Structure 1
Amino acid sequence: MCKCRGDRMSLNGRAAFASNLTILNLNLFHPDLFRGSLRFLLLACLVLTFPARAMDAKRIITLSPHLAELVFTLGAGERLVGVSDYSDYPAGASSITRIGGAAGADVERILSLQPDLVLVWKGGTKEADISQLRNVGLYVVSIKGESIDDIPASLLRLGELLGRQAMAGQQATAFRQSMGKLSSRYATKPIVSVFIEVSARPLMALSNKHTFSAGLEACGVTNIFSDLSQAAANVSLESVLTRKPTYVLIPDSVSESDYADSLARYQQAEDGSVKGVVRFNADKAFRQTPRIIDAITEVCESLH
């Protein structure tokens, strides 16, 4: 049996659709055409699930900090009524209502904010949360954020949803051009192998399933754990040293004592293959937004 959902069309959109049917002289409720309540309900489902116009979104909720940033990037920050924990860029995001974080989404609070669009991170937001939000009738759109190409693609998709296609096109083009210039600048430079440490206890590696690692390849920086099936995974110190990285990259958020520990840890390489430990801007590197280029460029300049 058809399951009617209100996540596809605004109330105004539904009314307009019904009106258009009348204009077309389709007498949908003629007794000879639709007999019985079941057929009526089936028709209602068709009307209620008719695709909404993308630019109807006026009350938006984001379930990842980078999605909130992308909405602001497209000049629609004032439409955000709820954001996830750690949504702190730009500054305006910090004052918006929190609706949960890595532990899960607060569905009750989300419903109280009456959003007409919920943006989730495909592969990052819990599938259980996504299913629950859709089951209560909310319009949920998954935005992919894995490869470097997903950033301009995300901008273009959001541009459609927010009615900001022109701005999204400009931002996407600018991003691609910046990455192209970076690739050209380092095209003749030698390959540099790195281990990207995202946690010391337990020791965790970043893979090319993450945008930052994948983006570093533009300047000839190769991740020794690029082949991992997950964006981040636990690894052993032995496995790191066996793969012989030339440099180790660690977040700039680590303390001075942890930085000193890292230096000592990787100096264990008997052949001296690890030349040094380089910090990177974690705030920019871990957000799948145009700002990631700054973090990539800084690392490229440090290693070449």
Structure 2
Amino acid sequence: MRHRAVVLALVLVVAAVAPTAGLAAAQTEDGTSTAQESCTFPYSATDATGANVTLEEDPERIVTLNPSAAQTMWEIGAREEVVGVSQYASYLEGADEKANVSGANGPSVEKVLDADPDLVLVPNSTYGLAKDRVEQIRDQGIPVYVFGTGTSLEFVANKTETIGRLTGNCEAGQRTADDIRESVRLMQEALADEEKPVGLNVFYGYTSGNNTFIGDVMTTAGLRNGAAEAGVSGFAQLNDETVVQMDPAWIVAPEGSPIPSNEAYNSTTAIQKGNVVRVDENNLQQPAPRSVDAAETIMQAVHPEAYEEYQSMKQQANQTETTAATETADTTAQTTATATTEETGTGAPGFGVVASVVALLGASLLARRR
């Protein structure tokens, strides 16, 4: 009976003390829980098609039908959850280890289903071109989320948050989105007093006008979007007469894309001065986190002094954030240690009473053996 009584005492004390220790570790300095209650499942959201998408559990197998969604998963540190990608995501490190779910003129329904996904992420462009195929996937009971059309870097940040939430990577999604917004803010601050020359985006006979994320990348980097000012909306072709009238001081083009070599383009200030900015197409052409890198590339070429100021501001912000995080961690650790010392009467964080009872139990059992 004495043995059972001591064991019961041990169980009761562990039950009383262990939750307290766990709670202290899971609280911030202001006493709020760090547990992501808003990142729980089941979770429902309405996508760009108006469809209600419900995820009963945290999805572990993700198929991305566009490279921007895949890039986002990579950037939030969730690439291991991706089991299928489109052929255009092959530039991502490790993408060759994933199933290629592309087919002729769009996604392959069969390949997507073979990947056995818990969630399929779909771009607006793919849905517009292959709606029937996407609906076939959805008809199999697989959650399918379709995104809207990217129009800005803020859209990219919001999309990053959404992907993080859908895939159960809320903290990483929020952190990456905040980094995008902070980079944009710092660029705007560094460029506040700079004159903004006219820029023209050119890619394979098209340009980016109003309501395009590429146009927003350019203006964020310190250019005026000449195509937008000429009344171009979305992605469209541009006639030579408009190019001459616009006379862009800078041309922005993805690497590998040819610049028209005709009288109209050759007459522009951009061509005559050699002001052509080549940008990694995977950064420039995709509404995903690396589009900030595209803006930085443009800014460095067009406004080198402001770019240096931006980098300095960014470094300072990172140092401040690191210092604040360190101080918070130290304060939290000190508060936790003090609280547990007061509760247990020992310097051991939350285990003083347990240790005492364990010692008592050991002595009792030893006495019984003797």
- TM-score tier after normalising by the smaller chain length: 0.7 to 0.9
Partner of 2:232: 228
1:148 aligned to which of 145, 153, 164:
153
- Whether the aligned pair in 2 keeps the contact of 1:84 and 1:100 (CA below 8 Å) is yes
- Whether the aligned pair in 2 keeps the contact of 1:59 and 1:117 (CA below 8 Å) is yes
Partner of 2:213: 211
Aligned Cα root-mean-square deviation (Å): 2.7
Partner of 1:239: 242
Match status 1:130 vs 2:134: yes
Partner of 1:298: 297
1:96–1:273 Cα change, 3 Å = closer
- Whether the aligned pair in 1 keeps the contact of 2:198 and 2:223 (CA below 8 Å) is yes
Cα separation, 1, equivalents of 2:241 and 2:105: 32
- Whether the aligned pair in 2 keeps the contact of 1:147 and 1:209 (CA below 8 Å) is yes
Match status 1:57 vs 2:59: yes
Q: What TM-score does the superposition give when structure 2 sets the normalisation length?
A: 0.61
Partner of 1:95: 97
State the AA in 2 paired with 1:251. Answer: P
Matched residue SS, 1:212: helix
Cα separation, 2, equivalents of 1:135 and 1:194: 45
Deviation of 1:104 after TM superposition, in Å, equals 1.1
1:262–1:247 Cα change, 3 Å = farther
- Whether the aligned pair in 1 keeps the contact of 2:218 and 2:295 (CA below 8 Å) is yes
Cα separation, 2, equivalents of 1:134 and 1:272: 48
Q: What TM-score does the superposition give when structure 1 sets the normalisation length?
A: 0.73
Alignment of 1:103-118 (within 5 A): 103-118=105-120
Match status 1:184 vs 2:189: yes
Partner of 1:165: 170
1:253 aligned to which of 243, 253, 256:
256
Deviation of 1:243 after TM superposition, in Å, equals 2.2
Deviation of 1:272 after TM superposition, in Å, equals 8.7
Cα separation, 1, equivalents of 2:172 and 2:145: 20
Q: Which whole-Å deviations, capped at 9, do the CAs of 1:218-265 have from their partners, x for residues lacking one?
A: 2331111124333x22222222112222222222224xxx45x64875
1:272–1:193 Cα change, 3 Å = closer
Which runs of 5 or more structure 2 residues have no equivalent in the other structure? 1-40, 43-51, 304-370
Q: Bigger radius of gyration, 1 or 2?
A: 2
Which runs of 5 or more structure 1 residues have no equivalent in the other structure? 1-11, 14-48
Q: Which has the higher helix share?
A: 2
Q: What fraction of aligned residue pairs are identical, expressed as a percent?
A: 25
State the AA in 2 paired with 1:296. Answer: A
Aligned length, in residue pairs:
248
- Whether the aligned pair in 1 keeps the contact of 2:251 and 2:270 (CA below 8 Å) is no
- Whether the aligned pair in 1 keeps the contact of 2:202 and 2:251 (CA below 8 Å) is yes
